[in-house]
Structure 1
Amino acid sequence: MKSMEQTLMSAVPDMIEWRRHLHRNPELSYQESATAAFVAEKLRSWGLEVRESVGGGHGVIGILQGTADGPTVALRADMDALPIQDEKTAEYASQVPGVMHACGHDAHTAALLTVARTMSSHRDQVGGRVVFLFQPAEETTPGGALPMIEAGVLDGVDVIYGIHLWTPLETGAVSSRPGPFMAAADEFTLTVKGRGGHGGLPHETVDSVYVASQLVVNLQSIVSRSTDPTQPCVVSVGSFHSGTSFNVIAESAALKGTVRTFDSRIRLEVKDRFEEIVRQTCAMYGAEVQIDYRLGYPPVVNHAGEAQRFERAAAGVFGTEQARYSPLIMAGEDFAYYLERIPGCFMFVGAGNKERGIVHPHHHPRFDIDEQAMVNAARLFLAVTEDYMKEHRG
């Protein structure tokens, strides 16, 4: 009889095929209908109990009951893609103009499907119940985690684990840490309203481009002069749109960006200081402004005991040197909402490979992963699940 590890390894060709299918056919947040149907069909074919349209969207869960009594473990993967044009030349490059899996969610889905298939073939080795969460809309606030939680996906669940493939980390290595791990991710939109006019007569206008440019500069003083330098904080303007012609001073300008913090007190202090700077800068130049500042995902905070479990399980699978203590990550994740409610751990699995040219950062038009990372992700999911069930059996 095959071991669970042997069954997983025999499924690797299918896992790669699933990932490439999803990569060719990406779907944006809140639009993952075909992806959800693909996932549900696979889960049903392995005899799992399946729920679709969870949380009023495209969430899918599969429930596997082992042959022995024990705890309930939830494993989560996200499914949505990004509004980015795929610039790779790989045969599995996105076939959807302007949409691509530029963060590895296709691989997360394929890896978790492989875990579900593997465990369904070895129910006699599963000492409890496993809930496989396939979540939509991680990339866009308010995100897909909260609606799924409100739909009851964590009811009766004792612990939850999530994995993110990470190209800054080389394939073969894995990392996590106890406590704060990933930042709170807030976002803002600013609409500056000036007075348009002729480019040759600027004194008759209120130049929205100039005012918005001052905002870009002045907002950087929040990090350098308004927050404790020992506390991580990022203020980034990612989008600046204004104007229609070279000789016209634009009536309005729009800025979009993000603020990242870890400390809840500093998070609110930054918001207040941000709004103060924006209003006073615009008033100084005679412009009006609309501020839309949204508190997004909270920080990802791993439970200490489950982070220790990660370290123990990862060292057993990959070796002590490859099970690493992660630095703080300023990216955000709505997995944070799950961890606010039950114990768990979010883990990074290395997916970069310099020798193969897999070096592009997440959200880059040529982003790709080393597909061996999916195997490592699946093995890590199995390892932490098995370790938890052994500790809590009966």
Structure 2
Amino acid sequence: MTHNISDYVNAWFNDHRSEVIGWRRHIHRYPEISNNEVLTTSYIAGVLESYGISVHQFPQTGLMADLGPDTEAGRLAFRADIDALPLQEVTGLECTSVNAGVCHACGHDVHTTVVMGTACALADYDREHGLEFGVRFIFQPAEEVWVGGATDVIEWGALEGVNSIYAIHVEPKLRVGRIGVRAGAITSATDVVDLKITGPGGHTSRPHLTADVVYALGKVITELPGLLSRRVDPRSGTVWVVGQVNAGYAPNAMPETGALSGTMRTADIAIWRKMPELTEQTIAEILAPTGCEHELNYHRGVPPVLNDDASTALLSAAASAIDPQAVVQAPQSSGGEDFSWYLEHVPGSMARLGCWSGEGEQHDLHMGDLTVDERAIGVGVKLFGSVAQQFGEAN
């Protein structure tokens, strides 16, 4: 390539810093929950179109946009998630959410702004120098709901002609300027398990004449985690945790029904694929001596985000090219992320984007007091510019 894309994007962001930060503050101020991102979609489209970028809006909310030519190598893709959470913001920031009970407590406003900035910078580069490869920008709705909007976006053709895909996720435990990379599983699969147990019911003075639903629930709660730990590789990070239990209505009455709900998480995709059958089999064995009947509803969530080795190496090289001290090893998270669905179809990688200022409290994701250091936006835009440079050199 005649002109260095990374250098161009760096200079572009330095010239447009205030404008880009303004985009983030607008999106932060007007958050919208999953599948309702109407104004957010319109705002993103308006910004991109002001830079001469043609957009393709998805059937409901969200959009994608392409730059550069179609080539045999396929397109480089960047993905942002655009939805907010049903939480009340308590940060007290000047750009605090004006929508009661809704806020960007997972950093999607930052993700969206980073991809917007990358798109606009590359659009200017394309006009001045001409991109030699294609780039796609995906602004995905509904990441925060089961099973994630990524499946719809893929069905709508967002990955057609894509060679590889990249994303970032803010990390409030990581100092701004740091970029966490990790080959393999960086998040976990996340499924929900609902179990209903039934029996004849009866009086607590005569437990031998009936089946004890509460006792059966207790057996599942205490024995299932231990048995699963002996039936799957302990290195897989497979964890089953109960979050809800309901049974009974009186201290001296044995109920006819009881129910529990919990989550099953694992970083091993092979284990994830066999967990419904294994969970059903193990629960049936636990309950067999109790005389109770059961009904299991195993709800598939998302697979783990499995960062491709080559894509992660490119991402790491791109980050190092910006700042040799930027790259750190990202920990494997037990949280779920629907970026994983894209990686079921094309190779790619997700990085952790440090957003802690280095001073004061480290806030957590999905909390109403989450604050991010806006310098992270520039780091993200420059990272993706460097990814584009690396991709162009490799293709």
> In which range does the TM-score fall when normalised by the shorter chain?
0.7 to 0.9
Q: Give the distance between the partners of 1:100 and 1:194, measured in 2 at CA.
A: 44
Structure 1 match to 2:146: 141
Residue of structure 1 equivalent to 2:261: 256
Match of 1:376 in 2: 379
3-state DSSP of counterpart to 1:172: coil
> What's the offset of the Cα at 1:369?
1.9
| Separation in structure 2 between the aligned mates of residue 277 and residue 49 of structure 1, nearest angstrom | 53
Shift of 1:133: 0.3
Cα RMSD, aligned residues only: 3.3
Partner residue, 1:335: 339
Deviation at 1:118, TM superposition (A): 1.6
Equivalent residues of 2:205, 2:252 under 8 A apart: no
Pair 1:345 & 2:343 matched: no
Partner of 1:295: 300
Shift of 1:289: 3.8
111-120 or 17-26, which moves further after superposition?
17-26
Are residues 1:40 and 2:51 paired? no
Q: Are the equivalent residues in 1 in contact too, given 2:185–2:268 (CA < 8 A)?
A: no
Specify the code of the residue in structure 2 equivalent to 1:332: G
CA distance in 2, matches of 1:57, 1:139: 16
Alpha-carbon spacing, 1:68–1:249, altered in 2? closer, same or farther (3 Å): closer
Equivalent residues in 2 for 1:24-63 (5 A)?
24-53=29-58, 56-63=59-66
Q: Is the 8 A contact 2:236 2:268 kept in 1?
A: yes
Q: TM-score, normalised by structure 1?
A: 0.85
Any conservation in 2 of the 1:238–1:257 contact (CA below 8 Å)? yes
Contact 2:73/2:163 (<8 A) preserved: no
Measured after TM superposition, the shift of residue 362 of structure 1 is 1.8
Give the secondary structure class of the aligned counterpart of 1:275. helix
The structural deviation recorded for 1:103 is: 1.3
One-letter identity of the residue aligned with 1:353? S
Structure 1 spans left out of the alignment, 5+ residues = none
Distance 1:70 1:340, change over 3 A: closer
Check whether the contact 2:315–2:349 (CA below 8 A) recurs between aligned residues. Answer: yes
268 and 38 in structure 1: CA distance in 2 versus 1, 3 angstrom threshold: same
Shift of 1:367: 2.3
User: 1:231, 1:263 within 8 Å by CA — same for their partners in 2?
Assistant: yes
Q: Which residue of 2 aligns with 1:99?
A: 102
C-alpha displacement of 1:174 = 0.6
Q: Is the partner of 2:310 in helix, strand or coil? A: helix
CA–CA separation in structure 2 for the residues paired with 1:95 and 1:239: 32
Deviations along 1:215-270, one digit per CA (max 9) or x if unpaired, are: 33333224543322233212222344667899998775553332222334422454
Say if 1:127 and 1:390, in contact at 8 Å, map to a contact too: no
Letter in 2 for 1:292: N
- Return the letter of the residue paired with 1:98: G
User: Given the superposition, is the C-alpha separation of residues 60 and 67 from structure 1 closer, same or farther in structure 2, using an over 3 Å criterion?
Assistant: closer
**Contact in 1 for aligned 2:9/2:381 (Cα 8 Å):** no
Corresponding residue of 1:150? 155
Percent sequence identity over aligned pairs: 33
Deviation at 1:360, TM superposition (A): 2.2
How has the CA–CA distance of structure 1 residues 256 and 44 changed in structure 2, closer, same or farther, with 3 Å as cutoff? farther
Contact 1:71/1:127 (8 A) holds in 2: no
- Alpha carbons 2:48, 2:119 under 8 Å: kept: yes
SS at match of 2:235: coil
